Amino acid sequence: MTPLSAHEFPVLLAFPPQGHWTQPHLALPSLLAWLRVHGYDAAQQMDLSVEAFDHFLSRPYLERAKAKATARLQLERLQSATSLGLGDARAWRAGVEAAVSADAVIERIEEAKSVVRGQDSDSDAERGFWDPDRYLPAVRTLYHGLRLVSAAHSPSELTPHNFTMRYSNDRSEEVLAASLDEDENPFLAFFREQVLPRIVAARPRVLGLSVLYGSQLVPALTLGRLVKAALPDCHVTAGGGYLAYVGKKVLGAAGVEACLDSIVFHEGEAPLLALCETLRACGDAPGVALRADLSTVGSLGWFDRREGGARATFNLPAHPIKLDDAPAPDFDGLPLEKYFSPRLVVPYDVNRGCYYGECTFCTLPTVIGPGYRTRSAETIARHTLELRDRYDTTHFNYITDCMPPGLLQELPERLIALEAGITWWADARVEPKAYTPEGTRLLYESGCRKLLFGFESASKRILKMMMKGQSLRSVEEVARNCAAADISVTFYAMVGFPTETREEARATLEFLEKCAGVVREVSLQTFHIDEVALTYREPERFGLRILDDPGADLALYHDYEADSGMTQEEAAQMFEELMASFRQNLPLFNGDNVFYFMQKSHYFLHLAGTPERAAETPASFETRLRGRRETRLARVADGGVRTRAGLASTPLTFSYRAAIELLAHPLARAARPDFLTGRYVGDAEAAAEARLPRLTPKASVLVYDGASAEFVELRPDGLAVLRALQQAGSLEALAAHASAAGRQRLETFATELLRLGILLPAADTLMPPARGARDSSRHASRTHESEPESQHVPQS
Amino acid sequence: MSPKAESQGASGNRDESRTGDAAARAEAGHQQDQSAPSGAPGADLDFESLDLTIETVEERISPSETNVFDK
């Protein structure tokens, strides 16, 4: 049989959950463009991460999740317990949140999605996305929707930025078990019901899975297993940053051959093309692809099945591509309307690797590698304009470890000369000669609105150990020049570098506090050691002893003991201390404003503006956020307060606040891997359970307001007052018989609830009624805020 | 996500029996809400002695979510 031509050969690239949700990731569009310029016109791509978020955050799915959560969590048993340990506290929290918020979240989920996506109005100026009082409740509603999804699969937890299960990512046995767990792996049913039929219909000969983060590992293997069972002649390969670290271990683990056929290491373009060429040449007779000789495909690890069984085999590295010859990424086929953002911010890689490449903690250039390569300013500008016109957007995220100084001069000049009319943001390295007052003004004129610098520490000793090659003076100078040009500055910072003391970490904090008003965001991380890092290869140089866990056959990150400085646990505590300061001193971290930090492109879009809406400066945006609550409080003086329709409440036998504090403890957090590394300490859950105090009973009430999407814990007295206020109709009427002291306490209580959005100014609304509510007689009386209040007494 | 607790208008620690009374009153109030309430709303509430503590949960990011790139 004649092999298919390249343009007929079906290749499918898929981005498994859980990954980016506000914008598409660059990986698959880069690979797709490369395949298509080499003739693979039938290649397609799917973002299953954003599809899953969209599917889960829908009324029908959440209705099912509510029922499943109710059955699964057995809240009555937990509520009647005499005390709760960590695991039970996690389930109890999920149960009470679901009990009090599920109906409101279900009712408002579609409206919330439309607000965050900018699909709630034809007029850009009227879109709720731009109004914090509408945007923040909408984002919270989405987060709470995912909590309901998580409750249905407890103890698994899916957030916009992470997916974790009780299984360890460090152990192949657990990872494979997770891929088969019908109760706790929400992606199993999603893939089988929503995705697999489409893949089977497309009959790809190659399925490529992009695994950038630890949070994608289990879902990727889940999908790979399903596809291999349904389409035995489809070659399932995977690649991406996370597998660049642990791929060799993954292929060496028993059982993975049921989920994957190969793994591409490092840069994917050339190996993926070679893989397709080789498989295409094999023809399409049944079983041929499975037994193909793939030994000539560079940078590939694969299961050699030619002699029966599956022998993990690793080929020599492929030559890197010449980046400047690579095409612009191709976003065709991605569900652009489903990303949780009103505007597409196009990711585009200006270079790969790092021109500096000396930092002792950083291994990113290794996994993106090999080597450092850049596109020319001419190519970048040309591709930018192509993408601008093709996708009708003027917003770009230039993907780079750091912009080299020469490009920082040439690229802005070209963009300005071409009248590109774009806005962009990027990571950057502190280069005093580039970020001068003139240089930063040029950058702003070219559209630069935000730069993220690797600051890391204010300790000269630590900076020297890190080999950062930058002085604090230059850091401050660069940041001030950017701020003066209205470019928002973010600092990456690190706590817990080997031998770092508390005092040194606090010196970093003091420096950052001094920079408030210049530095708008701090992206703080705790230090950890991967197997590629210098700190792992030469631990004695840093005074470290690496702790190996022989059972963790997929381990990427390692625990360690240090001769001096903070322990890992102390570093985790210091993280909390720094974050507490940021919440105080950085407006973007204060209260729920932090959602702007966490949805990075959303803050950027405020700085970028749109054709219909003027851009804001970092300072003016912060001022607007600061004024938000004061404005609301000022309105109360005029007309008093009123209760909201649709407040829901549920009685608690334990304190909600105490439960959340317990779950936020560093020991409790250590039991859950983070999204990037998937690091999971095997016995952390048991250790935390043993060391942390148990929750003891306390009568309380959890109130949820669907409009503000706020959880608030009251004492039963507080709920009684809320109900009385609802009956009385006004604070004045309720306080008519109160003493002066009682009236004062009542007003304090009401003012705080007003600040939280649980109560409303007498003549005000925060958010229009949910669209879905207009069609739902069942819920209508709980959402129309204009209706008489007497029917809306908070109910359990 | 994790919390920051704040208290406003707290009357100090109340013993559990009084809290239980309030819960009972709240429940009774709930029952009344379903039928015809009698008397001035809140007339039976002594605002000076009620426990009006409010515990809020402020969004707090964890190490797993701080370096989120554009996720």
User: Which H, E and C letters describe A159-226, residue by residue?
Assistant: ECCEEECCCCCCCHHHHHHHCCCCCCCHHHHHHHHHHHHHHHHHCCCEEEEECCCHHHHHHHHHHHHH
| Contact: B55, A736; criterion CB under 8 Å | no
Assign A28 a pLDDT band (cuts: 50, 70, 90): very high
- Are B47 and A745 inside 8 Å of each other by CB? yes
Is residue B15 within 8 angstroms of chain A, CB to CB?
Answer: no
B25 in reach of chain A (CB within 8 A): yes
Determine the distance in angstroms separating the CA of B21 from the nearest CA of chain A, rounded to an integer: 9
Backbone angles phi, psi at A11, to 5 degrees: -120, 135
> Strand (E) positions, A500-608?
519-526, 529-530, 544-547, 557-562
pLDDT above 60 for A29: yes
The shortest C-alpha distance from A772 to chain B (Å) reads: 26
Task: Give the model's pLDDT for residue A35.
Answer: 98
DSSP classification of residue A308: S
Residue A360 is predicted with a pLDDT of: 87
Residue B2 has pLDDT above 80, yes or no: no
B11 pLDDT more than 70: no
Q: Which residues of A touch B46 (CB under 8 A)?
A: 742
Range list of β-strands (E), A400-440? 423-428
Predicted pLDDT at A339? 97
Q: Which residue in the block uniquely carries the two structure tokens 């959303």?
A: A602
Q: What is the DSSP string of A53-120?
A: HHHHTSHHHHHHHHHHHHHHH-HHHHHT-S-B-HHHHHHHHHHHHHHHHHHHHHHHHHHHHHHHTT-S
Contacts of A295 (CB under 8 A, 6+ apart): A304, A313, A315
Evaluated on CA atoms A473, A477, A480, A486, the torsion sign reads negative
Can you read off the two tokens belonging to residue A38? Answer: 């080499």
Size of interface A-B (CB pairs under 8 A): 213
Composition of chain A by helix, strand, coil, percent to 5: 50, 15, 35
Nearest-CB residue to B52 (from A676, A721, A737): A721
pLDDT, chain A, mean:
90
Q: Phi and psi dihedrals of A201, rounded to 5?
A: -65, -35
Q: Do A583 and B60 touch (CB under 8 A)?
A: yes
Contacts of B19 in chain A (CB under 8 A): 699, 715-717
Give dist(CA A450, CA B65) in Å, integer.
20
Q: Where are the alpha helices (DSSP H) in B7-68?
A: 16-34, 63-66
pLDDT reading at A796 higher than 50: no
Chain A residues inside the 8 Å CB shell of B66: 523-525, 579
CB atoms within 10 A of CB A392: 10
pLDDT grade for A769, boundaries at 50, 70 and 90: very low
Contact A697, A654 (CB under 8 A): yes
Asked if the model's pLDDT at residue A628 lies above 90, the reply is no
Residue with token string 């069609």? A775
Which residue among B2, B50, B70 sits closest to A23, beta carbon to beta carbon?
B70
Kind and range of the H or E element at A728? Answer: helix A716-728
Cβ-contact A603, A596 below 8 angstroms: yes
Reported as half-sphere exposure (CB side, CA atoms, 13 A), residue A328 has a value of 20
Centroid of chain to Cα A491: 18
Higher per-residue confidence, A51 vs A781: A51
pLDDT at A295: 97
d(C-alpha A331, C-alpha A784), whole Å = 41
Residue A680 has pLDDT above 60, yes or no: no
* Most B CBs within 10 Å, among A592, A717, A744, A759, to test the B interface: A717
Instruction: Determine the 3-state secondary structure of A657 from DSSP.
Output: helix
* B68 contact A CB<8A: yes
Amino acid present at A611: P
- Chain centroid, CA B3 distance in Å: 15
Compute the Cα dihedral for A751, A752, A756, A759 and give only its sign: negative
Q: Is the CB of residue B11 less than 8 Å away from at least one CB of chain A?
A: yes
- pLDDT tens by residue, B14-69: 233 333 343 443 343 333 333 334 467 777 888 999 999 998 766 666 666 666 55
Looking only at the bridges linking them, the beta strands covering A311-314 and A300-304 are antiparallel
Segment among A259-263, A606-610, A767-771 with least mean pLDDT? A767-771
pLDDT tens readout for residues A281-319: 998 888 888 899 999 999 999 999 999 899 999 999 999
Q: What is the per-residue pLDDT across A708-739, written as a single tens digit (0 to 9) for each?
A: 898 999 999 999 999 999 888 888 888 888 88
Residue B3 has pLDDT above 60, yes or no: no
Q: Which of A347, A598, A743 sits opposite B65 (nearest CB)?
A: A598
Q: Tell me how close the Cα of B35 comes to any Cα of chain A, in angstroms.
A: 11
Cβ A472 vs Cβ A458: under 8 Å: yes
The whole model's pTM is what?
Answer: 0.90
Burial class (CB in 10 A: 0-12, 13-18, 19+), A417: exposed
Closest chain B residue to A664, measured at CA: B2
Quote the CA–CA distance of A69 and A71 in Å, as a whole number.
5
Cβ contact A752–B65 (<8 Å): no
